[in-house]
Structure 1
Amino acid sequence: MALWREMRAEGFPGQSGVVSQWAQRRRLGEKAHQSGLARTPSARIIARLMTSARDDLTKSEAILVAAIERNVPDLVVARTTILDFQSMIRSKAAAKLDSWLVAAKQSLVGSFASGVEKDIAAVRNAIISPWSTGQTEGQITRLKLIKRQMYGRAKLHLLQARLIGAT
């Protein structure tokens, strides 16, 4: 109200309601801006940003990643460790697995490394083997999708007919 009186004295022809609405919008805008800066992204968002290629990030996402890297160096180490694991699998370099496990246990992905170590023979074979279960997993996923779509509607004979018709 005091602001409106000052503005009126300087020649503002509007009503006090216009000034109060403007002030309210401005306060809400400032509050939203402050909460947007202070809001911590979820773990899922951070994981996606940290594992995405830098070229695929928007400007605001790149700024957020830079802030995360500057303030949480453990996440940078974890990202590097994950990228090393991916490149080890893609290049079929099973010899690097033991040294990777030692480094990974000291980072934020230590629980993942412990799981890999528990089944190290299978992981080593998966790295060096030319075979993949990707085709089989895809077919199983497709079968489960069709089965879920038909839930409670039919027995095995109709599911079989639908699967044959879906191919």
Structure 2
Amino acid sequence: MLLRRRHSSTPPTCAARYAEGCRNSELLRRELAARGLAVSERTVRRFLQQMRENNKPTTRPPVLKPREVTIVLLTHPDNREEADRTMLKELRDRSHDLDAASTLISRFAKILVHPRGRERLEQWVQDAEASALPELRGFASGLRKDWDAVVASLSMHWNPGPINRIKMLKRQMFGRAKPALLRKRVLLTR
């Protein structure tokens, strides 16, 4: 940038003023004129534009949406992709609460997939109730309220799938069909 000085003893202060936070080209031009520099406003605007481009912050990592974090947390540890494992490790390093939640959720997922008795579930519920996370404390207290059903669901080798399918069909047909049609639909959609 070429600046014509009226008085050669006064150095240009554009960069210093920019560093101080001055981003107004007209104000900066007036300050330079008061110091004896003949500069057009267009030149000052170009200088400010160049400074903005040079001082752009480095690109930040993308901000994760809560849903993305939830999906990674709730995915079974054995089914997580490598990128998700790396992201979860970084998140766990940043937040103690997220680390505690991830640990408890992973333990619960393992209990669901590989039920090994009531003791592991009992210990998990105690740990969740003692945690500082209100969501997991509430979930654990909900499990306590229906404890017998929870333990039975983990210990019995019984599949509720057919019953759930029949209930779904009944809800779909509610108010639209008589029991005979519902029976036919249940029997024919196997």
TM-score with structure 2 setting the length: 0.52
How far the C-alpha of 1:99 sits from its partner, in A, is: 3.0
Matched-pair contact (CA < 8 Å) for 1:54–1:62: no
Unaligned stretches of 5+ in structure 1?
1-26
Q: Return the structure number with greater helix share.
A: 1
Task: Give runs of aligned pairs for residues 18-167 of structure 1, distance below 5 A.
Answer: 37=62, 39-42=63-66, 44-52=67-75, 53=77, 56-57=80-81, 59=83, 61-89=84-112, 90-107=114-131, 108=133, 109-127=136-154, 129-132=155-158, 134=159, 137-147=160-170, 149-150=172-173, 153-167=176-190
CA RMSD, 1 decimal: 3.3
In 2, distance between residues paired with 1:80 and 1:116?
Answer: 18
Cα 1:143/1:123, change in 2 over 3 Å? closer
Q: Deviations along 1:46-87, whole A, 9 cap, x unmatched?
A: 12202333663263x444323311212222222222232343
Matched-pair contact (CA < 8 Å) for 2:104–2:128: yes
In 2, distance between residues paired with 1:122 and 1:63?
Answer: 36
In 1, distance between residues paired with 2:119 and 2:71?
Answer: 28
In 2, distance between residues paired with 1:144 and 1:96?
Answer: 32
How far the C-alpha of 1:148 sits from its partner, in A, is: 5.0
Three-state SS of the structure 2 residue aligned to 1:50 is helix
Matched-pair contact (CA < 8 Å) for 1:88–1:94: no
Cα 1:83/1:160, change in 2 over 3 Å? same
Q: How many residues align?
A: 129
How far the C-alpha of 1:142 sits from its partner, in A, is: 2.1
In 2, distance between residues paired with 1:56 and 1:163?
Answer: 37
Cα 1:99/1:145, change in 2 over 3 Å? closer
**How much identity, in percent, do the aligned residues show?**
28
Cα 1:125/1:155, change in 2 over 3 Å? closer
In 1, distance between residues paired with 2:153 and 2:126?
Answer: 19
Unaligned stretches of 5+ in structure 2?
1-52
